[in-house]
Amino acid sequence: MTPTRLGRRLLSILIVGAGVACQSERRAETPADAAVQPRAPQQAMTEPYVLAPLDTLGDTTTWGLPARLELVGDYLVVADFYATYQVVVLDAQTGREFGAFGRKGSGPREIQEPDLLFIESTVPPRLWIYDTGNDRFSLWALDEVGPLTAPIESFRVKSEGGFREAFLTTSGIVSTRKYGDALLYLADSSGRVRKTVGELPYPSTDYLYDAEVNYPLPSADPARQRLVLSYLRTNRLDFYDVAGRHIATGAVPVEVPPLRVAVVDGLRRYERPLPMTFGRASATARRVYVPYCHRCTTADRGAEYRLVQVFDWTGVFLGTLDLGTSIWAVEASDDDSVLYAAVVDPYPLVLRFLIPEALRSRKGR
């Protein structure tokens, strides 16, 4: 390197360092803004682990769409969309149905959209449901369930614009907006927003189909102390604590081409095939499991998830599970030994898979 080039190099380092110092205070407030890029993965993409189901769980004759799964102690809870609108409680080992509760409606025993399920760590554990359609949190005991089961407690939240998806944490409510913007909201238990975090990777909502909007999909660890956001159309995961502090960023180590957009009747539409699609993650204390589709040909965001990408909580990519069928939702056991997957083809049910020991013991750092 010549002296002139060396001088230019040193000058550029000094300029970059000064810029980072000037931005440090701002980034402490919004650490996950659009300038944050996924860290280079510690491991390159490897061949996926191809899995075969151990067994099947659930009643395939009445379910419409088993779209949400949650393990609550020895129970596997399944939220059915578009048919019964019930929440079904199964034995997580045998698949035997203990009962179901809820029906479509706005009454005290009714549910419009059971969009998020999460556990209340009591003995025995209980289930929280965030009902997007009713803007309502409700807490349910699972030892005795049936059509007349009522929640232990419930309360509505009122927030301008409405919450799309929300978790109760020890700090209050963490949510995204119902009709889309580029922020993560931290609110108190009444729904009053205390803080926002962003900008998240989130394009405009003026698309032909709602399913094409790049929604952030939040999931929490069992203790509800950490949050992971996957994005419908962005190869990126963001990890937060419940105070809104950014922990890490991750990505699948594949080259993802940019989305191609066409204008139809004045509205934008993504051209097919879509480069990639993420689903909602399932999180344990150690791992994060995210449904994934590469080069998806349909608009239906759940129609082509066949892979599950696995990360740790530092954002490091660990490996890929190939489930061999299209899935809508996944849920992993607390010890990361079993993965449950909701499927609709050829009919709605839940499959149970054994997670390979080689992946379970893999360390990202």
What confidence score (pLDDT) does residue 1 get? 45
25 belongs to a structural domain: no
Q: Which two tokens stand for residue 261?
A: 């957009």
**For residue 354, which amino acid is it?**
L
34 belongs to a structural domain: no
Q: Which of 38-47, 136-145, 244-253 has the lowest mean pLDDT?
A: 38-47
The stretch 229-237 carries a mean pLDDT of 88
Q: What is the mean pLDDT of the chain?
A: 80
For residues 76 and 289, the answer to whether their CB atoms sit within 8 Å is: no
Rounded distance between C-alpha atoms, residue 127 and residue 175, angstroms: 18
What confidence score (pLDDT) does residue 212 get? 62
- β-bridge mates for residue 261, sequence order: 270
Rounded distance between C-alpha atoms, residue 87 and residue 244, angstroms: 30
Of the two residues 206 and 226, the one the predictor is more confident about is: 226
The stretch 141-147 carries a mean pLDDT of 85
27 belongs to a structural domain: no
Q: At 228, which CATH number?
A: 2.120.10.30
Rounded distance between C-alpha atoms, residue 101 and residue 75, angstroms: 14
Confidence of residue 178 (pLDDT cuts 50, 70, 90): low
Q: Which of 44-58, 149-163, 313-327 has the lowest mean pLDDT?
A: 149-163
pLDDT at 77 over 90: yes
**For residue 32, which amino acid is it?**
A
173 belongs to a structural domain: yes
For residues 310 and 359, the answer to whether their CB atoms sit within 8 Å is: yes
What confidence score (pLDDT) does residue 30 get? 34
- β-bridge mates for residue 291, sequence order: 308
Of 270, 343, 361, the residue nearest 64 (C-alpha): 343
Q: Which helix (H) or strand (E) holds 358?
A: helix 357-360
Phi and psi (nearest 5°) for 30? -130, 70
Rounded distance between C-alpha atoms, residue 122 and residue 143, angstroms: 13
What confidence score (pLDDT) does residue 312 get? 97
Q: Which of 16-20, 67-71, 101-105, 232-236 has the lowest mean pLDDT?
A: 16-20
What confidence score (pLDDT) does residue 132 get? 85
Report residue 304 CA to chain centroid gap.
Answer: 16
What confidence score (pLDDT) does residue 234 get? 84
Rounded distance between C-alpha atoms, residue 329 and residue 343, angstroms: 8
Phi and psi (nearest 5°) for 200? -90, 160
What confidence score (pLDDT) does residue 290 get? 96
What confidence score (pLDDT) does residue 19 get? 43
- Give the number of domains in the chain: 1
* Edge-to-edge strands, sheet with 136-140: 114-120, 126-131, 136-140, 153-156
18 belongs to a structural domain: no
Rounded distance between C-alpha atoms, residue 159 and residue 40, angstroms: 37
Rounded distance between C-alpha atoms, residue 225 and residue 1, angstroms: 50
Rounded distance between C-alpha atoms, residue 49 and residue 353, angstroms: 11
Q: What pLDDT, in 10s, does the model give residues 82-140? A: 778 889 999 999 999 988 888 888 888 888 888 888 888 788 889 999 988 888 999 99
What confidence score (pLDDT) does residue 44 get? 60
Of the two residues 43 and 13, the one the predictor is more confident about is: 43
DSSP, collapsed to helix, strand or coil, labels residue 188 as coil
Rounded distance between C-alpha atoms, residue 343 and residue 117, angstroms: 18
Q: What pLDDT, in 10s, does the model give residues 258-270? A: 777 778 777 777 7
171 belongs to a structural domain: yes
Confidence of residue 23 (pLDDT cuts 50, 70, 90): very low
For residues 66 and 329, the answer to whether their CB atoms sit within 8 Å is: yes
**For residue 160, which amino acid is it?**
E
> pLDDT > 70: what percent of the chain?
80
71 belongs to a structural domain: yes
What confidence score (pLDDT) does residue 283 get? 96
Q: What pLDDT, in 10s, does the model give residues 271-310? A: 777 778 888 999 999 999 999 987 776 544 445 788 999 9
Q: 199: cis peptide before it, omega within 30°?
A: yes
Q: What pLDDT, in 10s, does the model give residues 188-208? A: 888 888 888 887 776 555 555
Q: Among 68-82, 170-184, 190-204, which range has the highest average pLDDT?
A: 68-82
269 belongs to a structural domain: yes
Ramachandran region, residue 302 (left: φ > 0; alpha: ψ -120 to 50; beta: rest): alpha
For residues 215 and 204, the answer to whether their CB atoms sit within 8 Å is: no
Domain housing 125 = 39-360
